[in-house]
Structure 1
Amino acid sequence: MPSPDEVLAFEALARCGSFTSAAEALGCTKSMVSLRLKALEKQLGAVLVLRTTRRLALTEAGQRMLPHAQALRQSLLQMQPAVDSAQCAVEGPLVISTYVSVSQLLAPILAELACEQPGLQLRLEVNNRVQDPIADVLDFCVRSRKVHDDSLVARPLGWVEEALYATPDYLATQGWPQEPEALAAHRLIMDGRCLTLCRGEELRTLSLASPLLDCNLYQNNLTLTLQGRGIGALPDFLVQPALAAGQLRRVLPDWHSDRWPVFLVHPYRQPMPRKYQVFLDFVLPRLRATLQPGEPGAAVR
């Protein structure tokens, strides 16, 4: 395949009519134009330009070559505006991935963004698999705990605290546990059969013979907790509406069962497309307002 630089040198010669003018148009020396033309003619196996001391003339091969060279130049001239449009426009697809529980926070924010920026085509992919934005062709991912990839930008969103919650009716009939050990007398709804609670530097680990339900999906655990089936180990952001409505109470409020950081992750791009920046400016403050800020105590899992 001929070098684009060589084809452009030929096109500049045909357009400008001399080596001097072609060199000025290309920002190089006359000798460089001559070398590129010779290389192109050798590559194609044909003489393209007849050179005399007074003028240049295209051969028949050169005349047939010229429209292709002109098309290449026009294509390259259109390349920058096309890239500028992609960089500057707030439109087109944006694919965001998150895990199930956080999707309940993120979906309303994305719907609000879609109303404000109708040119964006927003897609929310929800699963609990750790996804790679590059390999999975995603624009943004919400990840928790750790990000082990230096090629990605990880923007801290805040912290999630998992604690214990129950309905007022359940607590009225079954009683309020005052110490972690008292949980053995209650029906627990949680992920796993071992519960570790933290209060400052103090840790208590409880082995539970038979929780009411061992489930790793927070939405199911929240539903059962709201039904008054037992005490649920739930993340704080997920229970906020129920707490505000008086449907749930926090049990053992000085203790929490886990804490972990949350990040918004995306591939490194510099300069960043404008639609990325608009997304970040809109989504970051809203997610950060929902999650816990600052440095909490150590995670216990």
Structure 2
Amino acid sequence: MKTMPSPDNLLAFDALARAGSFTAAADLLDCHKSLVSARIKELEREMGAALVLRTTRRVALTEAGERLRPHAARLRETLSQARMAVDETQQDMAGPLTISTTSSLAQYVLGPILSELAARHPALRLSLQVNNQLQDPVADVLDFCLRSARMGKLHDDSLVGRLAGYASEHLYASPGYLARHPPILQPADLQRHRLLLMPDEQLGGLALQREGRSLRQPVEALLYLNHYPLRAELALAGQGITLLADYTVGRYLARGELARVLPEWQCDHWPIYLVHPFRTPLSRKYQTFIDFVLPRLRAALPGIAETTEAQTGRASITR
């Protein structure tokens, strides 16, 4: 009679498969690396097969390990749901929540919202990771990601994407810069001005849209940069005209420090999603986070449209 695999050993294997190394798996399980190693060896004896290939930095799963991986993941989810069912009887909001987003969304949108949430629920240990690269909440061990779908539809059945709003991009400059340079009455006038862009924004001409009409306006960039906060700082200093998402400029417009250039022309428009791993039922902590954050995101992100709220998928890179 074959030995039934130990749940603890399967959970150690699941952590190793997700984290990619014994050290990272030990961090996930809050235990010593040697314990993870011992449980993997014991599981291999129980299963009668090699499950991982060990290297100096990472581990790779064997064919048997890949076949075992989804079963170990389901065990973790089952145990997690059992814990959540018990946790629902508790009223305290406590424990870690890790959220990832880009630098501009962190600075202008999500940071202030999380600060308010932390003040309301002090027992939560909120962690905001600022990363402009695409991240997978499952592989990167994140609870939530705030990401844009600028490059297309979200596509991963293991994730849920809740529509948080839309980002619209327009041209902005300081009133001082505009006063010192020729007036801009039509897109062709941009050719006589200093622009702060990315290379792909200039390639083939700057894309502009107005009431269903689109055009590509040739321009010459003064400086290439893809960082919204730095773009805003340079525009505030009167260094030129730049593209900024509308959610980044509200305070500057209110104080008269920036003005929209060619206000009837829009440069780009894309949805932003709050993405998290698919979990049913959601823990009280997760659901409270969503109920608190999502309405505030929608208020901060202009141009929300009537659309289906929940879609599955992976978010793409944004600035």
Pairs within 5 Å for 1:170-189: 170-189=177-196
The answer on 1:130 being equivalent to 2:134 is: yes
Distance 1:144 1:258 in 2: 13
Distance 2:232 2:145 in 1: 24
Instruction: Identify unmatched segments of 5+ residues in structure 1.
Output: 5-78, 297-301
Question: Which residue does the alignment assign to 2:147?
Answer: 143
How many percent of aligned residue pairs carry the same amino acid? 47
Question: Which residue does the alignment assign to 2:161?
Answer: 154
Pairs within 5 Å for 1:29-48: none
Question: Which residue does the alignment assign to 1:13?
Answer: none
Question: Which residue does the alignment assign to 1:112?
Answer: 116
The two structures have a TM-score, normalised by structure 2, of 0.65
The answer on 1:205 being equivalent to 2:216 is: yes
CA drift at 1:80: 5.9
Distance 1:216 1:2 in 2: 54
Question: Which residue does the alignment assign to 1:84?
Answer: 86
CA drift at 1:83: 5.7
Kept in 2: contact 1:161–1:260 (CA 8 A) = yes
- 2:99 aligned to which of 67, 82, 96: 96
- 2:248 aligned to which of 207, 227, 238: 238
CA RMSD of aligned residues (A): 2.2
Relative to 1, partners in 2 of residues 1:85 and 1:170: Cα closer, same or farther, differing over 3 Å?
Answer: same
Higher Cα Rg: structure 1 or 2?
A: 1
State the secondary structure of the residue aligned to 2:239.
Answer: coil
Question: Which residue does the alignment assign to 2:279?
Answer: 269
Distance 2:218 2:250 in 1: 28
Kept in 2: contact 1:87–1:274 (CA 8 A) = no
Pairs within 5 Å for 1:65-84: 84=86
Moved over 3 A (4+): 1-4, 79-83, 86-89, 293-296
CA drift at 1:86: 7.4
Relative to 1, partners in 2 of residues 1:3 and 1:136: Cα closer, same or farther, differing over 3 Å?
Answer: closer
CA drift at 1:81: 7.0
The answer on 1:291 being equivalent to 2:301 is: yes
Kept in 1: contact 2:298–2:304 (CA 8 A) = no
Partner AA of 2:208 in structure 1: L
Kept in 2: contact 1:114–1:120 (CA 8 A) = yes
Distance 1:81 1:214 in 2: 50
The two structures have a TM-score, normalised by structure 1, of 0.69
Distance 1:262 1:82 in 2: 28
The answer on 1:226 being equivalent to 2:236 is: yes
- 1:168 aligned to which of 175, 187, 196: 175
Partner AA of 2:113 in structure 1: I
State the secondary structure of the residue aligned to 1:212.
Answer: strand
Question: Which residue does the alignment assign to 2:34?
Answer: none
> Which whole-Å deviations, capped at 9, do the CAs of 1:258-295 have from their partners, x for residues lacking one?
11100000011111100111111111111100112334
Relative to 1, partners in 2 of residues 1:243 and 1:3: Cα closer, same or farther, differing over 3 Å?
Answer: closer
Size of the aligned set, in residue pairs, is: 221
State the secondary structure of the residue aligned to 2:162.
Answer: strand
Distance 2:87 2:258 in 1: 50
